[in-house]
Structure 1
């Protein structure tokens, strides 16, 4: 039995017993719990709460029957508003303890509906020969096994409702033991399911897929090897995948395997805030680093500034340029392929002078970019982050070495019920 003192960055309760730190899954601050340890180290233990003796006011009943078994969510037992507040504390703690910086202003958190938000997902598929049945879902916690789940509350209801029909479909296929994954990609006008197939389909398999697609109004793509092998299967006349940014009158087409944000509603609010903080103006030259398919570049261009998007993937550079053309923004947006993880002052200087900069890196952050900034670097930087730790590290360099002030920062709850913390920060010279 122990009392939980706080939450860690993975959403686990933290307690101290006889000088040792205990990380307890399923426990909340202020609670008195009994726990079972599953991993012991000299200085800490990892455990699971087995009994809640004194519950927190933040505790709620998890909505999903698979919660606790499925590894997709870790915080459904915590009230949604409290989750956001906890993530804000994670951001503030990381900024101070890692970067030794504090934001002059903490921005109001960006959050939205906590259920049915996930428009991108990769679910595993497994034919269990001993039981002669198929499982479709996310992996169990700390396991390679697939959770036996019949629904998923963070998927849109229409997609959650497909988990059991997908089981029945795969059971009938000749390649049921050679189909390990289904990738879900939802657009404005079409729901796409990408089947990872290790062997070719036969005629009966193809007929079953067509019937399923017609019945459930989805489009199947097939992937035989790497992402470049993804091709539409049926129906071939389905609308193109896309998402929209109505505030900027932008339509963003994408392929099922190209990176887009999981939560399109929150993405719209995030883009709006990023552009408001950046405040692009006609005549300004702005860099969008790690630009992807143009999620921020095109709204910057729509505001009248000239934007240079930089991305390490050649295919995404092509996609971003095509999206600029679709939206009539080719004159203001151009895209360059470059490895920003290996850039230096010379490489950055080749791109020219920028008045402002937006940085949206992967979890590794933008260390080399930050180090490469010259004294005449951009006056304003908006940094969109999916890792508070690397944001804090880079913020420390910007503030303590590069002459910037951390004007504002705040969290973006892109992934409710998970410990994942997205955030946004504004730096000014």
Structure 2
């Protein structure tokens, strides 16, 4: 028989024992069996566990814990009864202190690997709420005939099926408490098989739901959503196709549907729409914004540039401290939201501009000014294309907020080559119970 049609080798069916030496970036235990690396879901460093094979590959194998023979001191009982089945988070079995230490070690590794440098000073980790922190999420929806009801939540680990959950201790309580009522609501709809997801977003004041539906929703079902919105005090939008088809069905008055959140340290209120990018963790965001601005050491005479500014999360607080602030963002709708927020807060020393920061911006109007301080908060892909422009501006200090330690480290290397010192860096627990690493770094001109 040719190799093309040769059957794949069957996985071992009996559990095997393995000693765990370290933790991968994805939060899996790492050990070796006969010299071959094995990634074990649910295992922690220092443990000896029995595992079941999930896959065997050329360079490594994968498995998951079936029993623990030697237990790590860092292991804790997960808060969530669905942990291990639901794929929404992966580190609830690890203590919060160990989680944040692991994330800092990842950042350290990335600085060494990509930038061949380390900060002169490590900042203490920034932590806030460990549970019920998540105010934005995209929840899967599926009406399962065998169960006779609708499931709402995240996918199971290693599966495309939705986890059968009744609540979620990571989502904000307002959102978590809606899971069962929304499930019961959809059970009674004509379109119960045609709703694949609900996007949830909350401010300090309101929760908004964006209901995706694959077929036209009859008026009877729309009325049920409106009644649900009235009963639970939420805002409901429908989305029949792409993002541009999102439209509100309750409440009727736009002012009653306005989401917002407060940054008390600056007496600033940010208005937002459900599809706007906003920091997922409100409690960390309230600490992170003053943290970043303190690192910049903003003076009343400073001109400050905020790149990838979004709706003004950093821009407007900066404007309460600086002489003048420019916010630049690639998404036109967010630029308009920034202007709206500046007007709403009575801040006149700030301007917002739309620009694709991955292109040549040397001739842009806002780029002709001198800036003493720069703040950047890019997407996961980082800010490599804009680094050259930042260097040309020769700002005294740069604060870089990152959601990807690899691209932060890569960009740090470029800034160091260009004459900046990596003075301070640290991690922020934006997504507790997950492997996501949020970090912040301060650079100063030599």
Give the TM-score taking structure 1 as reference length: 0.95
CA distance in 2, matches of 1:50, 1:103: 40
Taking a change above 3 Å as real, the CA distance of residues 412 and 181 of structure 1, as seen in their structure-2 partners, is same
- CA–CA distance in structure 1, aligned partners of residues 103 and 132 of structure 2: 20
1:110 to 126, 142, 152: 126
The 5 Å alignment of 1:133-152 reads 133-152=149-168
**Quick check: 1:193–1:218 contact (8 Å CA) kept in 2?**
yes
1:257 aligns with 2:306: no
Structure 1 outlier segments of 4+, above 3 Å: 129-132, 343-352, 371-376
Q: Which moved more, 1:118-127 or 1:159-168?
A: 159-168
Per the alignment, do residues 351 and 9 of structure 1 end up closer, same or farther by CA in structure 2, a change over 3 Å counting? farther
Cα offsets for 1:331-370 (capped at 9, x unmatched) = 2111111111234656699443321110100110111111
Q: Does 1:362 align with 2:393?
A: no
Give 5+ residue unaligned stretches, structure 2.
Answer: 1-16
Q: Which residue of 2 aligns with 1:128?
A: 144
Deviation of 1:129 after TM superposition, in Å, equals 3.5
Deviation, 1:54, is 0.4
| Pairing 1:206–2:247 present | no
Alpha-carbon distance in structure 2 between the residues aligned to 1:112 and 1:102: 26
Contact 1:39/1:46 (CA < 8 Å) preserved in 2?
yes
> Whole-Å Cα distance in 1 between the matches of residues 311 and 176 of structure 2?
28
Deviation at 1:285, TM superposition (A): 1.6
Partner of 1:216: 232
**2:6 counterpart residue number:** none
Match of 2:297 among 272, 279, 286: 279
Aligned residue number for residue 88 of structure 1? 104
What is the TM-score of this pair, normalised by structure 2? 0.92
Q: Tell me: CA distance 1:219–1:24, structure 2 relative to 1, closer, same or farther (3 Å).
A: same
Cα distance between partner residues in 2 of 1:372 and 1:20: 46
Q: Deviations over 1:271-317 (max 9, x none)?
A: 01001011222232211111000100111111133111111101111
2:357 aligns with: 340
Change (3 A) 1:261 1:349: closer
Using the TM superposition, name which of 41-50 and 69-78 deviates more: 41-50
Supply the distance in 1 between the matched residues of 2:247 and 2:285 (Cα, whole angstroms): 27
The offset of 1:12, in angstroms, is: 1.2
Root-mean-square deviation (Å): 1.7
Aligned match of 1:245 = 263
**CA–CA separation in structure 2 for the residues paired with 1:276 and 1:302:** 13
Give the aligned partner of residue 68 of structure 2: 52
Counterpart for residue 195 of structure 1: 211
Moved more, 55-64 or 155-164: 155-164
Query: Match of 2:419?
Result: 403
Verify the 8 A CA contact 2:122 2:425 in the aligned structure 1.
Answer: yes
The 2-side partners of 1:219 and 1:346 are apart by: 42
CA contact (8 A) 1:348 1:372 kept: no
Q: Name the CA distance, whole Å, in 2 between partners of 1:385 and 1:149.
A: 32
Counterpart check, 1:179 vs 2:190 = no
